[in-house]
Structure 1
Amino acid sequence: MNSTLHPMLNVAIRAARAAGAIINRAALDVEAVRISQKQVNDFVTEVDHASEAAIIETLLTAFPQHGIHAEESGRTHGNPHSDHVWIIDPLDGTTNFIHGFPVYCVSIALSVRGRIEQAVVYDPSRNDLFTATRGRGAYLNDRRIRVSKRTQLNQCLISTGFPYRKGDDMPTYLRMMADVMQRTEGLRQPGAAALDLAHVAAGYTDAFFHSGLQPWDVAAGSLLVTEAGGLIGNFTGESEFMEQQECLAGSPRVYGQLVSLLGKYSKYRSTKPEVIRQASGTLPGPDASMPSAP
């Protein structure tokens, strides 16, 4: 039981639940939600804006001197010079939401001097609350969570996200997915990166990879993963993933094997060969590792 919550985490939970209530009310009549398009296949709704406003109001009422970095309003709220910055995605999985597909979440993280210290990912359709404080572990609804114990890639379920914006390198992504699909038990694309990372932390999936993500997509989930005993970085296994729009997360042994597999696709080829050499376990060929029939 996570009985002694950090005061700042408590406020973040309150903010996430306020946003979740707005999202759940709107989900009752999703056809009535007003939608606008930011760019090709990238949507924002009045629910995103209302959810974000509720989160910011809750956070700044408690911590008026803190900074805000939010998906829809950027850095226009809060103290731009603070070393405490709340990184907010008010509705991750907007496309799912507007179709009534119940895979979306609220993501809130607190960065202190550039390091994520508090994290909340709230799934309002399931009322699942994922939380973490640096050094205190990761929790789902007050129950301690850990990453998966699987070590063989051919027994693993991996989540990802498909590229959908103009200019995304679809041919490379298709090669990456083919490489992963041939060596694993399954590949899934749920469509909400923050929730994908929370599910890695809970052991529901064994790893997650994605390119083109923004800090608000991965900030909270990254702390959930590491506090649950997992690893997160870019495709070459280095830690500078937050601003690089390249994210790989998983249990340690699986993470290492995926670094070996996906590193060659990275825009940030490692200058540290030992990062690749340290990958745990061997990487089997696609034929040898296909799951056997039950």
Structure 2
Amino acid sequence: MNRDKIKSVLLDAAMTAGKHMLSRISARAGFSEKTEISIVTETDKECEKIILDKILGAFPDHSILSEESDAIEGSHHRWIIDPIDGTTNFAHTFPASCVSIAYEEEGAVMMGAIYEPFRDEMFFAAKGAGSFLNGKRIFVSETKSLSHSLMATGFPYDRKERIDDYLAMIKTVLLLTHDIRRVGAAALDMCYVACGRFDGYWEANIEAWDKAAGMLIVTEAGGQVSDYSGNPMTLKGRQNVATNGLIHEELLKAIEPYRHVGINALK
């Protein structure tokens, strides 16, 4: 398989969809709430179509796993797509949404691109070749202790059922760290770990398309990813931790009492 062609299609699809997302959010002023919801749904679908047209136009036999449509199966080459990660942010015109696309061979993610159009930031990684932001090599932070770390987390969709567990876990980590941020887009959280803006990130119950590209970008930047027990992070796993590696064990110890959170939400 021509890796240069895959990279070219990957970056082009992510950027083109991201630019379309940006144009749609810029045109939303003055719409009613009902119209806004419709625009978010339409934009998600439009971005997905842009991506699928580019990928399947170049590789018509490849498989697809995308948030917004039925899976296309049958190939050892698979693209994992989130047309808009951070749809709630997009719905409120909060500038923290992105396009996330990963390319997988034989079950292993080989390339990933995450494009954030508001800052015009393209994060890219290729297995064994490092992680990059707008073409410049990036690395995780050198923060050595949880007490000096800036962390990120998210609130999963089942938070109404498990709110006490999530708040208790956040309280525990908050008291051990410098501070916590909640961006609202898992893919961006992992990118920000990769480039050193965050020292670590944890969240339960995100989907494969939320993390496929991000987990590669973190590891290729020198970071570490796992579940809450320290086992390898997988696309099907419900618990997700990404750090600079230096604070990984300390974070796992902090969230150890909450290992049950996410376990019962397997799909």
TM-score, L = length of structure 1 = 0.83
Specify the alignment match of 1:287 in structure 2. Answer: none
Unmatched segments (≥5 aa) in structure 2: 263-267
Specify the alignment match of 1:9 in structure 2. Answer: 7
- Displacement over 6 Å in runs of 4+: none
Q: Kindly report which structure 2 residues correspond to 1:1-294, keeping only aligned pairs within 5 A, or say none.
A: 6-31=4-29, 32=31, 34-35=36-37, 45-75=41-71, 77=72, 80-165=73-158, 168-267=161-260
Residues 136 and 251 from structure 1, CA distance in 2 versus in 1: closer, same or farther, beyond 3 angstroms?
same
Compute the RMSD of aligned alpha carbons. Answer: 1.8
Q: Is the 8 A contact 1:30 1:98 kept in 2?
A: no
- Give, in angstroms, the shift of residue 263 of structure 1: 2.6
- Give, in angstroms, the shift of residue 207 of structure 1: 0.3
Deviates more, 1:66-75 or 1:43-52: 43-52
Q: Is the 8 A contact 1:207 1:251 kept in 2?
A: yes
- Give the distance between the partners of 2:223 and 2:177, measured in 1 at CA: 18
Q: Which has the higher helix share?
A: 2
- Give, in angstroms, the shift of residue 156 of structure 1: 0.4
Say which SS state the counterpart of residue 246 (structure 2) adopts: helix
Specify the alignment match of 2:265 in structure 1. Answer: none
Unmatched segments (≥5 aa) in structure 1: 37-42, 270-294
Say which SS state the counterpart of residue 183 (structure 1) adopts: coil
- The structure with the larger Rg is 1
Residues 187-219 of structure 1 deviation map (CA, whole Å, 9 limit, x = unaligned): 010000001100000010000000110000000
Deviates more, 1:252-261 or 1:139-148: 252-261
Say which SS state the counterpart of residue 247 (structure 2) adopts: helix
- Give, in angstroms, the shift of residue 6 of structure 1: 3.3
- Give, in angstroms, the shift of residue 72 of structure 1: 0.5
Q: Is the 8 A contact 1:96 1:102 kept in 2?
A: yes
- Give, in angstroms, the shift of residue 168 of structure 1: 3.9
- Give, in angstroms, the shift of residue 166 of structure 1: 6.2
- Give, in angstroms, the shift of residue 267 of structure 1: 3.2
Q: Is the 8 A contact 1:130 1:198 kept in 2?
A: yes
Q: Is the 8 A contact 2:233 2:241 kept in 1?
A: no
- Matched AA of 1:6: D
Q: Is the 8 A contact 1:69 1:87 kept in 2?
A: yes
- Give, in angstroms, the shift of residue 240 of structure 1: 4.2
Residues 102 and 249 from structure 1, CA distance in 2 versus in 1: closer, same or farther, beyond 3 angstroms?
same
- Give the distance between the partners of 1:55 and 1:26, measured in 2 at CA: 16
Residues 60 and 206 from structure 1, CA distance in 2 versus in 1: closer, same or farther, beyond 3 angstroms?
same
Paired residues, what number?
256
- Give the distance between the partners of 1:238 and 1:166, measured in 2 at CA: 24
